[in-house]
């Protein structure tokens, strides 16, 4: 693992595939011009709208999203994470799929989100991700990269389930991806503290690209795409506007924190 710059992209995706991909392309270009070698897009980067529209267009969204990721990675010679897009599954539903692509355009890892966001929030909004999404059945993978470190995948609501990240840590993860479309209501209280907890307890870097702002009349996201170091320090925060959070991933810092706080070695259960 070498020292390198990573980018957590922040988007305001809408129910328009091609406008979203154009926005993503601009932000990837910005990240690359600032020196990023690992660029991470948020959950729902290619489409964020009502569930019926998503299902109706799922085949096209899946094909265009995957083609886009592979084209962008190869064009810019970067490793690229597509943090979540619908891929047709069974019973007219989709998998919420994160895809990690290498600089030659090759698929490195794929993860189908296992924890689905079915909640009734105190602000009156109800979310039923399971109405259109089939939960994945496999634990998320860790992709071993000699240059970028061991990269562990997850998606959004997963961040509330620490056992998933402990699995990734046991599999050797050094960098954890948490691409998200966190709601504005929950994000103000929970987003940063949950991400910092996952970084601290697993002594890993966390890269959390995010959605921000209003997407339609019903949906608003929290923003604040961040990169966090293994001590829990916020290295970069994109705020509330579309943009990129960029920070250095330093193997020396990872080794220092794990030497000073060897909690992973002290596990009893």
pLDDT in tens, 54-95: 999 999 999 999 999 999 999 999 999 999 999 999 889 999
Catalytic residue among 37, 43, 64, 174: 43
**What's the chain's average pLDDT?**
96
CA dist 180 and 186 (Å) reads 12
Does the annotation mark 156 as catalytic? yes
CA dist 70 and 9 (Å) reads 17
pLDDT in tens, 228-265: 999 999 999 999 999 999 999 999 999 999 999 999 99
Residues 205 and 199: beta-carbon distance below 8 Å: yes
Collapsing DSSP to helix, strand or coil, 55 comes out as helix
Number of H helices, E strands in the chain: 7, 16
pLDDT in tens, 199-236: 999 999 999 999 999 998 778 999 999 999 999 999 99
What are 245's two structure tokens?
Answer: 């959070």
Does the annotation mark 113 as catalytic? yes
Give the confidence band of 51 by pLDDT, cuts at 50, 70, 90: confident
Closest CA to 3 of 146, 147, 101, 175: 147
pLDDT in tens, 63-74: 999 999 999 999
Residues 249 and 40: beta-carbon distance below 8 Å: no
Does the annotation mark 40 as catalytic? no
pLDDT in tens, 133-143: 999 999 999 99
Convert 102-114 to b/e letters by CB count within 10 Å (16 or more is b). bbeeeebbbbbbb
Residues 236 and 246: beta-carbon distance below 8 Å: yes
Q: Tell me, what's the pLDDT at 202? A: 98
Q: Quick check: 123 pLDDT over 90?
A: no
Catalytic residue among 37, 40, 156, 174: 156
Residues 154 and 176: beta-carbon distance below 8 Å: yes
Query: What structural domains does the chain harbor?
Result: 4-266 (3.60.110.10)
């Amino acid at each position: 693992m070498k020292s390198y710059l990573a980018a957590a992209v922040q988007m305001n995706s809408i129910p328009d595939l091609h406008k979203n991909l154009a926005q993503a392309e601009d932000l990837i270009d910005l990240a690359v011009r600032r020196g990023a070698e690992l660029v991470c897009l948020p959950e729902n980067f290619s489409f964020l709208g009502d569930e019926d529209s998503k299902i109706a267009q799922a085949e096209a969204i899946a094909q265009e999203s995957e083609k886009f990721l592979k084209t962008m990675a190869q064009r810019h010679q970067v490793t690229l994470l597509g943090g979540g897009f619908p891929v047709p599954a069974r019973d007219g539903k989709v998998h919420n799929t994160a895809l990690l692509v290498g600089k030659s355009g090759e698929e490195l890892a794929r993860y189908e989100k296992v924890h689905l966001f079915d909640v009734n929030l105190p602000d009156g909004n109800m979310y039923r991700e399971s109405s259109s999404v089939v939960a994945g059945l496999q634990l998320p993978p860790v992709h071993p990269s000699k240059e970028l470190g061991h990269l562990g995948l997850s998606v959004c609501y997963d961040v509330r389930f620490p056992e998933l990240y402990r699995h990734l840590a046991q599999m050797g993860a050094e960098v954890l991806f948490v691409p998200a479309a966190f709601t504005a209501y929950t994000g103000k209280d929970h987003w940063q503290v949950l991400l910092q907890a996952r970084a601290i307890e697993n002594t890993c870097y966390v890269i959390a690209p995010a959605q921000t702002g209003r997407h339609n009349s019903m949906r608003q996201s929290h923003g604040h795409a961040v990169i966090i170091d293994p001590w829990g320090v916020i290295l970069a925060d994109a705020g509330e506007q579309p943009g990129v959070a960029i920070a250095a991933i330093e193997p020396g810092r990872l080794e220092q924190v794990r030497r000073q706080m060897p909690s992973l070695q002290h596990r009893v259960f």
